[in-house]
Chains A and B, each alone.
Chain A
């Protein structure tokens, strides 16, 4: 079930009505059942897999607590990594070996075909990247003793499978969610809070607008440039810039929408889910970007990869090495393709270069011309590098980046343009407004006194927008008759 779907709406309404009608004890088990039903609606078999992962992790960490055998902890994390590697990277690894050694049968398409024919094709369990990180952080926090409280299996089960954040984050830590779950189980669960309820509804409305109005519209606009048969060399350089700007805005709108919806639904059942985005495009630098974008992920890789490697405390060169390695892993987490590996590695290299540059040009200098240089360089690098994130092959990426900087073709009006500039500008303005809210929410608090009118009116407007924008893509395709 997608969050923005009739099925989920019905699911949540039923859950919500029952949830606030029963006692805390029943609410606890209701949330477990609801979360497993939610995940099972995608694929019931992978629900068993998720349960197995949770059972194994919980059992081993409980055994570790009793015995303090470090090998238990390390073996468990090794199993977690192997689990995700098999499901996510099997075909990438096989394809790479097949390409290097000329083994055609190991190329991804051929391998998938042959495994499908034998009935053993490997499918990627939904949200495996998210819940693996979440459950690993649980074990690591216990190992490091940064989280020592004991929980029952069912509490940990709910912690990992908690439906608002299961599919696309935010990636929650033990001390974010487990205490809330414990209190619920102990009979001290969330109490109705009108302010939370209203905030939850506003977040849900914002999430729907971001997803349905902004993200889906931008994807339709940019998709012909990135995903059609038209060679990239036929596009005007501005078209590539426009398309990548559209896709980057789309990614923010889409991803932050899910986080908003997760927080919103969490609030409606009395749970606090952490913020995941803080106006990423108001970034001053790449380092600043990662303090604003997918916060729970960037803090995870900082706390569980970068810092254990030594962070910036082992000298400059070692710091650069740590940054590159951390972001190489981050790239792999995002997707099973060499594009993501290169994207992650480049991100690490750029962060290293930036770290070096802070020595003579502060992250946010005082002089306006220095600020301009900092911002210009950041964006001129940020946009092309993100082509790797969206493109389907390395050659296309190189061609697209070359186009963006091929000055002679800026004067060639015969080249193709991309989509509507109006749509892009409208989406940009909308994203900026959301960014202003994320940076300075207090600016909007003055309007809260009109909630009694604004909220129902906004709900009606969002419903009408849903009616307008849902299914728009399909109408576009079949104009020929």
Chain B
């Protein structure tokens, strides 16, 4: 037994054991909420808080019939109350509506089912639900169920309840993300460095909040965005400067990103620019070679579509499911892969069976605006037409 004479042999093992134990601190909600990582996590955290905001508002104001909930992935982010201001017609029709956007980057039907259970529950429930589902996201090999959906979006209770509908690899990855909490959180040294360089930022946040209130008032005076979409760009340029990384971004309570999303009730309008067709084609080719070659339909996510729609129907909500519009090259690619049209046909059938409406925005003639920020994301400049189409449709459901 060499340990008696050489106790130092145990030092490396004990050191690793201490690191392992310390890592578990990052499982505590009080720590996780003060360690928000860049990218998708802030959206999921803000949505968690926004559910509470919405429920409290519904209870207090009794505005169920004037409340629209939007769900979806990043392709549905530019829908919200500010979008109404882009068109006089929309303002007249829906100006008194409350629109809460719960779309999140890389979200999947499992997340919509989770949100539906939380929001369309209890006495005060919104009347309208619009969900953007990208059939191409229902690829089992996408790997986005584990992160960000399970890691940031779903509660442990929901995961436990539906564990048999979650792929084994995702369940194992989820368990691993708890075992190694810092890795599960998506910690990044580069982010830490950038945020440290930005300082502690509290003063930025006050200035930012004032700036955002000022901008919101500017739009509410009736100067619409439709005639001059540059205003939207200005808004986000100002925001972009104010949102330079700093240490306050780690804390959900002080993160300016969270304020920005609260201000727009969850919508995000940052993708305003329009990409050239050549760039869209190149990106689409890249997507095909990386992503479409190993496309396996996720039956689990189709199951979650069903339970989400059933839950919404039981709550009495009017539901519209739509297929977000993508650039023409990606639309052509959809035709090449039967998995994609199979998924949409299943979603459309589930919608019919549960009294929901469905709408394929990639069909010819449905939308005029065809400007794209990148291969997958419509430019925020098209948000006005998109929102009007969706609101008109959901309001027409009996």
Contact = CB atoms under 8 A, between A and B. Distances in A.
A52 interface: no
Contact of B142 (A194, A459, A478): A478
Looking at chain A's contact residues, the main secondary structure is helix
Nearest to B72: A481
A367 interface: no
Contact of A21 (B3, B188, B190, B285): B3
A210 to B, nearest CB: 17
A459 B144 contact: no
A460 B19 contact: yes
Nearest to A201: B12
Interface stretch (A155-163, A352-360, A435-443, A464-472): A464-472
Given A197-B9, A229-B289, A480-B287, A20 B3 contact: yes
Interface string A441-480: 0000000000000001001100111111011001101101
B189 A468 contact: yes
How many A residues touch the partner, as a band? Answer: 35 or more
B201 interface: no
A480 B289 contact: no
Nearest to B376: A480
Contacts of A468: 187-190
A481 B176 contact: no
B19 A463 contact: yes
Q: Interface on chain B toward A: helix, strand, loop, or mixed SS?
A: helix
Nearest to A194: B8
A6 interface: yes
A128 to B, nearest CB: 29
Interface residues of B, number: 43
B187 A467 contact: yes
Given A201-B12, A477-B291, A481-B75, A470 B3 contact: no
Interface in A220-263: 224, 228-230
Contact of B15 (A21, A22, A230, A459): A459
Contacts of B190: 468
Interface string A84-115: 00000000000000000000000000000000
Contacts of A466: 183
Contacts, number: 84
Contacts of A6: 176, 179-180
A2 to B, nearest CB: 15
B69 interface: no
A21 B376 contact: no
Contacts of A45: none
A55 B106 CA distance: 54
A230 B9 CA distance: 53
B289 A228 contact: yes
A365 interface: no
Interface string A1-33: 000001001000100110011100000000000
B225 interface: no
Interface in A167-191: 191
Contacts of B286: 224, 228
Interface string A59-78: 00000000000000000000
Nearest to B142: A478
A326 to B, nearest CB: 39
Nearest to A464: B189
B266 interface: no
Nearest to B326: A480
Interface in B256-314: 285-287, 289-291
A20 B5 CA distance: 11
A191 to B, nearest CB: 7
B6 interface: yes
Contact of A467 (B147, B183, B375): B183
Contact of B16 (A13, A194, A477): A13
A481 B291 contact: no
A464 B180 CA distance: 11
A470 B105 CA distance: 21
B30 interface: no
B2 A192 contact: yes
A171 to B, nearest CB: 28
B144 A481 contact: yes
B291 A474 contact: no
B54 interface: no
A208 B123 CA distance: 55
Contacts of A22: 1
Contact of B189 (A16, A224, A465): A465
Q: Give the residue among B2, B3, B286 with the most A Cβ atoms within 10 A.
A: B2
Contact of A480 (B8, B16, B182, B291): B291
A478 B143 contact: yes
Nearest to A20: B2
Contacts of A464: 182, 187, 189
Nearest to A461: B189
A411 B375 CA distance: 29
Contacts of B12: 197, 201, 268
Contacts of B67: none
A93 to B, nearest CB: 30
B292 to A, nearest CB: 11
A153 B207 CA distance: 77
Contacts of B179: 6
A477 B187 CA distance: 18
A197 B189 CA distance: 28
Contacts of B187: 464, 467-468
A257 to B, nearest CB: 19
B75 A21 contact: no
Interface in B1-23: 1-3, 5-6, 8-9, 12-13, 15-16, 19
B137 interface: yes
Nearest to B187: A467
Given A194-B8, A467-B182, A470-B183, A481 B2 contact: no
A230 B8 CA distance: 55
B2 A191 contact: yes
A459 B375 CA distance: 41
A470 B3 CA distance: 34
A450 to B, nearest CB: 16
Contact of B9 (A192, A460, A474, A475): A192
B291 A478 contact: yes
A261 to B, nearest CB: 15
A227 B107 CA distance: 29
B73 interface: yes
Nearest to B1: A21
A420 B102 CA distance: 35
Contact of B143 (A224, A465, A474): A474
Contact of B6 (A192, A228, A478, A481): A192
A468 B182 CA distance: 9
B74 interface: yes
Nearest to A13: B13
A374 B374 CA distance: 48
Given A459-B15, A468-B187, A478-B142, 19 more contacts: A6-B180, A20-B2, A20-B3, A20-B9, A194-B8, A197-B9, A229-B289, A456-B15, A466-B183, A468-B188, A468-B189, A468-B190, A477-B290, A477-B291, A478-B106, A480-B291, A480-B375, A481-B106, A481-B107
7 contacts: A20-B3, A192-B8, A468-B190, A478-B106, A480-B136, A480-B375, A481-B137
